[in-house]
Amino acid sequence: MTLIKSISGIRGTIGGNVGDNLTPIDAVKFASAYGTWIRQQRQKENYRVVVGRDARISGEMIQNLVMNTLIGLGIDVIDLGLSTTPTVEIAVPMEHADGGIILTASHNPKQWNALKLLDNKGEFLNAAEGAKILDIAESNDMPFAEVDDLGQIHVNDAYIDIHIDEVLDMELVNTEAIEKANFKVVVDGVNSTGGIAIPLLLERLGVEAVKLYCEPNGHFPHNPEPLKEHLTDLSEAVVKHHADFGIVVDPDVDRLAFMDEKGEMFGEEYTLVACADYVLSKTNGNTVSNMSSTRALRDVTEKHGGSYEASAVGEVNVVNLMKKNNAVIGGEGNGGIIYPESHYGRDALVGVALFLSLLAEKKMSVSALRASYPNYFMSKKKIQLTPDLDVDALLVAMEKRYTEDASVEKLTTIDGVKIDFKNTWVHLRKSNTEPIIRIYTEAPSQKEADDLADHIIAEIKNIAKLS
């Protein structure tokens, strides 16, 4: 059982001991710290925070704890109830709120939950502000409001519909072409809020939606991370229903993956590639993804005359570099689309609308679309951390090992160690969300990617034995 405190919030497993897990006391403690931070930003009479949650089993309990804690601090709460991460993100500026909290552990299994924290723009906090909240939590200097100054809860369950309206109003969403295409799509909502939002969006676009696991009860029917090995039911359903393609999202609907008409994965990494291809065909500009994402985005960007840069892993890092480089689209290779014309947050609804527009205009199958892009293969592996494993020392050792290697084209250390070779790369980093070291590789074939990952893992383990 685990509790992870980071600049982006607090994430942990339900049950167990205080301080070791996400218990009610921990939820109250960190909601108190966030609320105190909100009040420190501006001295004024009224404060407002938007709160929403995914459908996981512990969600209602955690949300009630968080909302009532904010009330105790004299902060009004806009309660979106069952919602999505991007929906909460767009609601914050619309409500002129001081911040937002999403209760979701993203792709983690059902025993996990988290408080994901937003600023008054509806964007994730930067490192400095996140660190302040962690300091406040440890200081216990969190003064609560007196009885006449308690906050209030205002329920607003209209924001998924408002979010869909915002998506449909985007200039590049070709609603007419999508409706004429008569698409049939299978949707795997992993029994969370994507099962509400994605079918509603498709209905508004005139797309026939076949629902698979769209009951928002929090009982995830498979591992909720949208990877190929977890999606055999979706693959079978796409073929069975003769669908044009399949859609799968994670529990809080900020990650998006597609499956082609043959029941084969389009490739989670290629969600951003396809959406960027569409946007760049209409808008001149640059792109950004994190350094664990596919080189195919760089290739597509350069094809359209733009420039590509890679950020450290983490949505806030991608967003910061997108703003610096005036990127017209960006995101993460895990299926996270960030389109500034909508907002600076990963948004599966935006991704679905852009992908459908591309497909409708291209008038080609999903498998043919995938074949039109540069073909790279990725391996994503991990090493479980143990108390005796000095991760920082291991990463330094790997950096030294490859600094003098003649086959290395570029070595980057802004986020772990990223080693670029001529036709392949490897990225080693400590996870922000799990007690693991992530080892991502990419190569021209799956075997090469897997072999490179296995080789690097063996080197790390050998170094760990010697140290």
Instruction: Residue 166: give its domain's CATH number.
Output: 3.40.120.10
pLDDT, residue 7, reads 65
pLDDT, residue 389, reads 79
One domain, residues 198 and 326: yes
| Two tokens, residue 444 | 């021209």
CB 32 within 8 A of CB 135: no
One domain, residues 40 and 146: yes
Final residue belonging to a domain, choices 107, 141, 157: 157
CA angle 310, 114, 249 (to 5 degrees): 60
One domain, residues 367 and 397: no
One domain, residues 212 and 182: yes
pLDDT, residue 466, reads 59
- Strands (E) in 196-244, as ranges, are 208-212
Of 106, 192, 289, 293, the catalytic one is 106
> pLDDT by residue (tens digit) across 352-383?
999 999 999 999 999 999 999 999 999 989 98
One domain, residues 135 and 168: no
Does pTM surpass 0.75? yes
Q: Give the CA-trace dihedral at 99, 100, 106, 111, to 10 degrees.
A: 120
pLDDT, residue 44, reads 84
Gap between the Cα atoms of 440 and 389, Å rounded: 19
pLDDT, residue 226, reads 87
Final residue belonging to a domain, choices 101, 134, 157: 157
One domain, residues 259 and 142: no
The terminus-to-terminus CA distance of the chain in angstroms comes to 28
Q: Tell me, what CATH number does 410's domain have?
A: 3.30.310.50
pLDDT, residue 56, reads 97
CA angle 349, 352, 356 (to 5 degrees): 145
CB 38 within 8 A of CB 47: yes
One domain, residues 239 and 306: yes
What percent of the chain has a predicted confidence (pLDDT) above 90? 87
The strand pair at 327-332 and 286-290 is best described as parallel
One domain, residues 246 and 225: yes
Final residue belonging to a domain, choices 345, 371, 397: 371
Domain that holds residue 54: 3-157
CB 53 within 8 A of CB 62: yes
pLDDT, residue 465, reads 77
> pLDDT by residue (tens digit) across 446-458?
999 999 999 999 9
Answer yes or no: 407 catalytic: no
One domain, residues 359 and 397: no
Of 27, 7, 5, the residue nearest 18 (C-alpha): 27
Q: Which residues of 301-323 are buried (b: 16+ CB within 10 A; e: fewer)?
A: beebebebbbbbbbbbbbbbbbe
CB 332 within 8 A of CB 435: no
| Count of structural domains within the chain | 3
CB 82 within 8 A of CB 153: no
One domain, residues 229 and 359: yes
One domain, residues 333 and 197: yes
Work out whether the CA dihedral 64, 66, 67, 70 comes out positive or negative: positive
* Residues of the chain under the 70 pLDDT cut: 1, 7-8, 433, 466-467
pLDDT, residue 1, reads 53
pLDDT, residue 386, reads 79
One domain, residues 105 and 174: no
pLDDT, residue 185, reads 98
pLDDT, residue 158, reads 97
Gap between the Cα atoms of 42 and 444, Å rounded: 52
